[in-house]
Structure 1
Amino acid sequence: MKSTEAPLLVKTKQPEAAEEKEKIRWEKIKRVASMAVPMLAVNMSQFLLQVTSTMIVGHRSELALAGIALGSSFSNVTGFGVLFGLSGALETLCGQAFGAEQYHKLGSYTFTSMVYIMMIAFPISIFWMFMNKILILLHQDPQVAELASIYCLWLIPALFAYSILEPLVRYFQSQKLIFPMVLSSLAALAFHVPLCWLLVHTFDFGVKGAAVSTGISYWLNAVFLWVYMKRSRACLKTRIYLSKDVFLHTRIFFKFAVPSAMMCCLEWLAFEVITLLSGLLPNSKLETSVISICLTTSSLHFNLVNGIGDAASTNVANELGAGNPRGARASASAAIIIAAVESVVVSSALFLSRNVWPFAYTNVEEVTRYVTEITPILCISILMDSFLTVLAGIVRGTGWQKIGAYVNIASYYIIGIPIGLLLCFHLHFNVKGLWAGLVSGSTLQTLLLFLVIGFTNWKKEANKARERMLDEKVSRHDSLVN
C-alpha cells in the first residue's frame, strides 16, 4: 500500500514557508521603518541648517537668494559632499563590524576616518578662498559670484566641524543609537534659526551671518555627540580612542571611501553643472534662482528619504556582518517598499501644492510662476530619487561603492547631462530642459541599480563581509607581533 503521508507533508511545507517569508518581510519593514523615522529627523535637521539660511537670506532680495543658493550648491559639491561621501565608507566598515560583533573596530575605524577627512578638509578650504575667481571663469554673474564666494569663505569653520560630525553620525548609525543624534541635531537647528535671523537681519551681516550661524551649529552638534560617546555606557565597547590603528586601517578605509565619495560627488556635481549652465541663459538671474529653488527642494527631499537609505544601509551591513544573507535580502526589500510609498506621497503633495510652495523661498512673482511651471518635472525627479537614494544605501551597506560610482558616470555624464544640453540650448526648453536631463539620468541610474541588487548573491556577500572582518583581525595581530 502506498503511503499518503509524504505528499501531504510536501503540500503543507509550501504555505508554511510562504507564511514564514511574509512574516520575516513585515518584521524587516518594521525594523527599517523604526530606524528610518528618527534618522529622517537627524538628516532633515542637519540639512535644514543650510535651507533655513537660504530662506532667511533669500527674503532680502533676488540677488541675495541667487548668491547664497549658488554658494551653498558649490560648497556642497566641492566640500561637504566630498566629506559626506568619504564618511560613507563607515557604513560598510562599521556596519559590518557591528554585525560581526567586532565592537572595538567601530572606534578605530571612526577615528581613522576623522583623521583623514580632517586632512582633506584643509585643501578644500584653500580652494574655497579662490571661489570668486573660479565662478567668474565659469561665466557666472559677478555680483552673484561675489556673494557666493563670501558665503563659502565664512563657511570654512563649518567644514572642519563637518569632518568630525559625519564620522560620528555613521558611528552612532551603525549601532542604531539614533536618539542622541536626534536630540543633538534638533537642538542645533533650534539654536541656528533664531541666531541666523539675528545675524542676517538684525545685525545686517547678510550671507556672512548665515555662514557663521551654520558653522556654530555644526560645532555644537559635533561636540554634543562626542561628549555623549565618551560618557555613555551604551558606547562602552565601541568607544573612540586615539590609536595607532589609523595607519593599519588606511588601505581598507580608502578602498571604500574613495568610490563612496565619487558615488556621492559625481551625482551632486551633475546638479552643480546644471546650475552653472543656467547662468549662461539670457535671463540668468531668473533661471539661476528657479533652478536653485528646485535644487534646494530636491536636496531637502533627499535628506528626507535618506533616512530610509541610512536604515537600509545599516540593516543590510549588520546582517551581512552577522553572516545572515536572508536577513540582508529581506532588509533591502523592506527599504524599497517603504521608499515606494514615500515617493508617491511626497510627489503627489508637491504637485497639489505647486501654486503655494514656491513662496517659501521668495515673493518675486516671476520666479514663483516659473517654479510652478517646472513642478511636474520636479515631481518625477523626486519619484526617481526616492528609489535611487534607498538603492544607494543598500549599495553602501553591501560595500559596492565602486559599482555605484560607475553607474553614476554612465547615468549622468553619458546620458543625463547631454540630454539636458540638447533640450535646453537646441530645443530652447531652458531650465525645464536642463532638469529633464537630470530626470533621465536618475531614471537610468535607478534601473541599473535595481538590476544590480536584483541579481545579488547575498550568501556570497555575507561570506565576503565575514572574511573582511577576519582579515582585518589577522592583519592587526600580525602588526602587533612585529
Structure 2
Amino acid sequence: MLPREHPNAKRKATLNTESIPVSRRPKVAKNVARVHINDDDQLDTRLFNHKKTRNEQVGLVQSFKKKKRNLHRHHRVINVSTQSDHVRSDFGKKSTEMTHLLESTAESTTLEMSALSVKEEAIQLLWLAVRLLLSYILDFIPDFVANVAIGRLSAVYSSKFLAAMSLSCTFTVLTSYTITMGIAAAMETLCSQAFGAGKLYELGIFFQTGLIVFVGFFIPICILSRFSAVILIALGQVPSIAYLAQELVLYALPSIPLQVFNVLLRKVLQGQSIVKPILYAGICGNIAHHLVIYILVWHTSVGYISCSIASCAMAACTTIPLLVYVIRCNVYVFRDEWKGWQFKECFRILPEFIRLGFSGLLMFLCEVWGFALISLLSGRLSDAAMAISASSIYLSFRRFNWIFYGSVAMAGSIRIGNALGANNPKKASLIAHITASSAVIFALVTSTLMHGVRFAYPMMFTEDRDVVDLTARLMLLTCPFQIFAGLTAAIQGIFQGSGLQNVGAKLNFAAFIVMTLSLGMLMAEQLNLGLLGLWLGMCCGMMFGGIYCIYWLYHVNWEKLALDAQKRTE
C-alpha cells in the first residue's frame, strides 16, 4: 500500500541537493584519482518521506540516478594528488633519487591515453637514460684507455698487441661475459617487474638466485680459459697471437666473480631507478684502472699484461664501494625487506630465472656472436693483422655509439618493466614508442659523429697508415646504418622489460647470425670486399632487426604482457 499523500505533494518533484542530508551528498574530492559510487547503495530513507506520493518517489529516484551518471562521466579521470615534499614513487615507497616512477594500483590501467603526458614520460625516460649513459661511458673509458696504451707500447708490435687484445676480448665475451649477461637479462626483467608490483622482498631472492647460477658456471669458465690458446688456434687464429691472448685471459680471470657480483647489485638498484651509487662506484673504478695502467705501462716492464691487471683492480674498486653503499644507506637489499639467505625460495624460482636468463643469454649471444664471427673471419683474410686491428678499432667506436642508444634502451626496459609490474599496459605501450623514437634520434647523432671522426679516431690507436685508411673507409660506408642499430637496440630493451627474451633471441639469430654470416661471407669472398664486406653483411642484419622493431610495436598485445607480469611476480 502506498503511503498517504503529503499536503505539499503538488510541488515539483525535483532533486535539490540541499534536500539531501550532508552525509549522503555525493562529494568530489580535490585530490583523488577517481570518484567511486557504489551501484548497490540505495537512497537514504530520509529522501523518501513516507507522506510523498508514488510519482514524487519515482521522480526522486530517477533524478538521483541521472546525477550519479553525470558524476561518472564528468569525473572519470581526475589528476592524482600532487607529490609531497619528498619525492615518492607511485608504489608508495620512498625513492632515494629524484625519479618519478609509475602507478602501482590496478586502477591505473583505466587511465585514458590522452591523460598520459608524452612530454612528461619522455622527460623521465631521458633523465634516467642520461644517468645510465654516464655509467656506460664510465664502463667504456677503461677499454678505450687500455687500447690506446697498448697500441703505443711499440711501433713494431702495436698491431700484434691490438690483435691479441681483440682475440682475448672475443674469447672472454663468448665465455664469462656471456654467462654474466644471461644472469643480468633475467635480473633486469624480474627486478623491474617486482618493484613495479611493490614486492621488494623478491629482489633479494633474485639476487641470491643469480649468485647460485654463476657458481655453477664458474669452474667450466676457468677450464676453458686455461686452454683458450688451443681453442683459438683450432678456430684458425695465428698461434703467436693466440698465446698472447691466452695470457690476457688468464690474468683477467680473478675479475670475473667481482664483475658478476657488481652486475647483480646494479640490476637490483636499476630496477628501482637508482643510478647515482653506480656512477660513484664507476668513478672509483676508473681512477683505479687509469692509475694501474699508467704505472705498469710507462714505469714497469709488465707490458701488455697491464691491461688485464688493471681490469682486476677496476672490478674490485667498482664492486666494493657499491656494496658498502647498499649496506650502509637506506636503499633496498640489506634493509627491512632482506629476509636472509632463502635457498628454498631461490630453487623454487630457479626454473623461471633460468628460462628468462637462457632466453636473454641467447638474445645476447646471437648479437655478440655476430660481432665475434666478424673478428674471427677477419683473421682468415689475406692480411689478418691489419684486418683484425681495423676491425678492433672500428668495433670500439661501435661500442661507443651503442652506449647512447643502449642507455635509452635500458631506461625503456626499466620503465616498461615497472609499468607492466604495476599492471599499466597503456603506459608500457607509450614508453615503448618513446624508447624507439629516442633511440633513433641518438643513432642519427652517432651516425653524424662517425662520419666526422673517421680519420681522427683510428689515429688515436695506431700510426699504421693502412690500418687508419681501412678503418676510415669502414666507418664511412656503415655510418648510415646506425639508425637501424638504434632501433635494434631499442627493441631488445623493450623485450627485456617485457620478459620476451625468447622473441629477441629469434630476432637476433636471424639478423646477426643468419644474415650477417651469409651476406657477409658472400660480399667478402665472392665480391672481394674483404673486411668491408663482412661489416656490410652485419649492417644488413641490423636493417632487418630495425624493420621488425617497427612491425612488432604496432602488433603487440600489451594487456597480455601486463597479465604475464602479474603472474611472474605472484
TM-score (norm 1): 0.91
Aligned AA (1:285): A
Q: Does 1:182 align with 2:279?
A: yes
Aligned AA (2:341): L
Match of 1:147 in 2: 244
Determine which of 342, 363, 367 is the counterpart of 1:243: 342
Q: Does 1:431 align with 2:531?
A: yes
Q: Which runs of 4+ in 1 moved over 4 A?
A: 237-240
Q: Does 1:55 align with 2:148?
A: yes
Distance 1:70 1:83, change over 3 A: same
Aligned AA (1:270): G
Answer whether contact 2:512 2:538 (CA < 8 A) is retained.
yes
Answer whether contact 1:63 1:285 (CA < 8 A) is retained.
yes
Alpha-carbon deviation of 1:379? 1.4
Alpha-carbon deviation of 1:344? 0.7
Alpha-carbon deviation of 1:223? 1.6
User: Equivalent residue of 1:101, what SS?
Assistant: coil
1:268-302 alpha-carbon deviations (Å, 9 max, x no partner): 01111111111111111101111111112212222
Determine which of 119, 133, 143 is the counterpart of 1:40: 133
The aligned runs of 1:219-238 (5 Å cut-off) are 219-235=316-332, 236-238=335-337
Determine which of 100, 110, 113 is the counterpart of 2:197: 100
- Paired with 2:248 and 2:337, the residues of 1 have a C-alpha distance of 37
Q: Report the number of matched residues.
A: 456
Aligned AA (1:56): A
Determine which of 196, 213, 220 is the counterpart of 1:116: 213
Alpha-carbon deviation of 1:262? 0.8
Distance 1:168 1:285, change over 3 A: same
- Paired with 2:521 and 2:438, the residues of 1 have a C-alpha distance of 34
Larger Rg: 2
User: Equivalent residue of 2:569, what SS?
Assistant: helix
- Paired with 2:536 and 2:516, the residues of 1 have a C-alpha distance of 8
Match of 1:166 in 2: 263
User: Equivalent residue of 2:175, what SS?
Assistant: helix
Answer whether contact 2:288 2:317 (CA < 8 A) is retained.
no
Match of 1:31 in 2: 124
Determine which of 215, 226, 230 is the counterpart of 1:129: 226
1:349-372 alpha-carbon deviations (Å, 9 max, x no partner): 120222211112212111111111
Alpha-carbon deviation of 1:240? 7.7
Q: Does 1:253 align with 2:350?
A: no
- Paired with 1:102 and 1:174, the residues of 2 have a C-alpha distance of 12
Determine which of 301, 309, 313 is the counterpart of 1:212: 309
Alpha-carbon deviation of 1:23? 5.7
- Paired with 2:431 and 2:276, the residues of 1 have a C-alpha distance of 21
- Paired with 1:427 and 1:240, the residues of 2 have a C-alpha distance of 62
Q: Does 1:460 align with 2:553?
A: no
- Paired with 1:393 and 1:198, the residues of 2 have a C-alpha distance of 39
Answer whether contact 1:110 1:240 (CA < 8 A) is retained.
no
User: Equivalent residue of 1:83, what SS?
Assistant: helix
Determine which of 370, 383, 387 is the counterpart of 2:483: 383
Q: Does 1:333 align with 2:433?
A: yes
CA RMSD of aligned residues (A): 2.0
Unaligned runs of 5+ in 2: 1-72, 77-111
User: Equivalent residue of 1:233, what SS?
Assistant: coil
Answer whether contact 1:24 1:330 (CA < 8 A) is retained.
no
User: Equivalent residue of 1:38, what SS?
Assistant: helix
TM-score (norm 2): 0.77
Answer whether contact 1:88 1:170 (CA < 8 A) is retained.
no
Aligned AA (1:57): I
- Paired with 1:240 and 1:433, the residues of 2 have a C-alpha distance of 55
User: Equivalent residue of 1:93, what SS?
Assistant: helix
Unaligned runs of 5+ in 1: 1-9, 14-18, 471-482
Answer whether contact 1:230 1:239 (CA < 8 A) is retained.
no
Aligned AA (1:404): G
Aligned AA (2:319): A
- Paired with 1:327 and 1:73, the residues of 2 have a C-alpha distance of 39
Using the TM superposition, name which of 208-217 and 242-251 deviates more: 242-251
- Paired with 1:186 and 1:360, the residues of 2 have a C-alpha distance of 23
Give the share of equivalent positions with the same residue, in percent.
24
Determine which of 436, 445, 450 is the counterpart of 1:345: 445
Match of 1:73 in 2: 170
Match of 2:114 in 1: 21
Match of 1:196 in 2: 293
- Paired with 2:347 and 2:304, the residues of 1 have a C-alpha distance of 40
Looking at both structures, which has the greater relative contact order when contacts are Cα pairs under 8 Å and sequence separation is at least 6?
Answer: 1
Q: Does 1:89 align with 2:186?
A: yes
The aligned runs of 1:287-326 (5 Å cut-off) are 287-326=387-426
Answer whether contact 2:125 2:411 (CA < 8 A) is retained.
yes
1:205-250 alpha-carbon deviations (Å, 9 max, x no partner): 1232110110121122112222211111122355484222221221
- Paired with 1:241 and 1:292, the residues of 2 have a C-alpha distance of 45
